[in-house]
Amino acid sequence: MELADIAIKFGLIIVIFLISLVIAMYSTYAERKIAAFFQDRVGPNRAGPFGILQPMADGAKMFLKEEIIPANATGFLFIVGPSLAIMTACIGSAVIPWGQSVTIGDRVIPLQVTDINVGILYIFGVVSLGVYGVMIGGWASNNKYSLLGAIRAASQNISYEISMGLSIIALLMVTGTLSLGEIAQQQHGWHWNVLYQPLGFLLFIVCAFAETNRTPFDLPECETELVGGYHTEYSSMKLGFYLFAEYINMFISSAVMATLYWGGYNYPGMDFMGNLLGPVWGPLFGTFVLFMKIFAFIFFFMWVRWTIPRFRYDQLMDLGWKVLIPLAIANIVLTGIVITLLK
């Protein structure tokens, strides 16, 4: 790889990194605003116009707060926990194709950090690692609420991971590849996978909610039972990391869902638009479309949060094991039969 390539990659990485941070920050703002909207309140409105600077203020506060490590906690793991959580959240974006390649001069710049042939497995691996952050943090706190929260988180994540994996398998049968870049290309125009895999998408989105510990599956941090769940003992930036990780995860899973099922950067009439806007702005418009889809998903996440009440733990597990897994398997069988018949 040439030096220029490396520089471009680094640039892309940093841009994506910053974008995810910003989106995560403003997701907190959006969450509050949306919550306020649903509850017929105003929401944050002091810092800046419409409270637009509120995330900045929150961030600054995180930096300035006192850092508490409880006496009984396992110091090293107590720090590792949140760090791991945010790290895994941040590296997931590496394989997501943000758009078609941009051609500047004779240099083709792919809008994807790297297109590896096991992209989906990579995402899964990273997501699975995420639970370690929660688990380690909760265990290191040496607090009963934290431990319970952590165990719940672990148990819930792994439960839904099975159905997530199974729902993806049906998709793979359709696409025949594990590379996200290729999957995105296949959905050129309006050939979105959601049309072929509606059930699969449904399963996937439910699992995505559970994996990101979002309501209605936010048992690990359920305030009414567990105070703060796994991050009860956390303060300052370490708490910030956990909260941040949640929003980044939400962003990444939205991106993954959009890419896998909703066509990614593809949109009907993209060839026409591509010709119209040229080799630089055409792909970038696709990227814009992708982000619109992502924002829609993020909005959906929030909408659900403020609409649907939290599950009970047994309901949560029942849903995961007894409903989603059989459905996912049925989906695989159905897909298999249909594809074989149509061939």
Partner 1 sequence: MELQSLPVNYLPIIFQMLVALGFVITTMFVTHKIGPKRVTGDKLTPFESGIEVIGNARTPMSIKYFLVAILFVLFDVEVIFMYPWAVNFRDLGKDGMIEMFIFIGTLLLGFIYIIKKGALDWD
User: x/- string (CB under 8 A) for partner 1, residues 47-66?
Assistant: ---------------xxxxx
Among residues 36 and 58, whose Cβ is nearest to partner 1? 58
Please tell me whether residue 41 binds partner 1 under the rule CB under 8 A.
no
Which H/E stretch holds residue 94?
A: none
| The one-letter amino acid at 61 | K
Which residues, 227 to 246, sit near partner 1 by CB under 8 A? 227, 232-233, 236-238, 241
Provide the minimum distance between the beta carbon of 280 and partner 1 in the complex, in angstroms, as a whole number: 22
Q: Measured between alpha carbons, how far is 294 from 311 in angstroms, rounded to an integer?
A: 25
Which residues, 118 to 147, sit near partner 1 by CB under 8 A? 118, 121-122, 139, 141-147
Angle between helices 270-305 and 236-260 (to 10 degrees): 130
Provide the minimum distance between the beta carbon of 325 and partner 1 in the complex, in angstroms, as a whole number: 7
Asked if residue 229 lies in contact with residue 145, where contact means CB atoms within 8 angstroms, the answer is yes
Provide the minimum distance between the beta carbon of 233 and partner 1 in the complex, in angstroms, as a whole number: 6
The β-bridge relationship of strands 107-111 and 99-104 is antiparallel
User: x/- string (CB under 8 A) for partner 1, residues 295-324?
Assistant: ------------------xx--xx--xx--
Q: Which of 9, 35, 57, 225 binds partner 1 (CB under 8 A)?
A: 9
Please tell me whether residue 188 binds partner 1 under the rule CB under 8 A.
no
Which residues, 64 to 103, sit near partner 1 by CB under 8 A? 64-73, 79, 83, 86-87, 90-91, 93-95
User: x/- string (CB under 8 A) for partner 1, residues 144-183?
Assistant: xxxxx--x--xx--xx-xx--xx--xx-xx--xxxx-xx-
- DSSP for 225-276 reads HHTTGGGTT--HHHHHHHHHHHHHHHHHHHHHHHHHTS-TT--TTHHHHHHH
Q: Can you name the residues that pair with 102 across neighbouring β-strands? A: 109
Provide the minimum distance between the beta carbon of 253 and partner 1 in the complex, in angstroms, as a whole number: 17
Q: Which of 39, 49, 106, 343 binds partner 1 (CB under 8 A)?
A: 343
- DSSP for 161-223 reads HHHHHHHHHHHHHHH----HHHHHHHT-TT--HHHH-HHHHHHHHHHHHHHTT-TTS-GGG-H
Provide the minimum distance between the beta carbon of 209 and partner 1 in the complex, in angstroms, as a whole number: 18
Please tell me whether residue 338 binds partner 1 under the rule CB under 8 A.
no
Asked if residue 212 lies in contact with residue 151, where contact means CB atoms within 8 angstroms, the answer is no
Task: Please report where in the chains the tokens 């944050």 appear, as a residue.
Answer: 44
Among residues 203 and 289, whose Cβ is nearest to partner 1? 203
Provide the minimum distance between the beta carbon of 200 and partner 1 in the complex, in angstroms, as a whole number: 12
Burial class of residue 274 in the structure, from the number of CB atoms within 10 Å of its CB (0-12 exposed, 13-18 middle, 19+ buried): middle
Provide the minimum distance between the beta carbon of 267 and partner 1 in the complex, in angstroms, as a whole number: 24
Provide the minimum distance between the beta carbon of 159 and partner 1 in the complex, in angstroms, as a whole number: 6
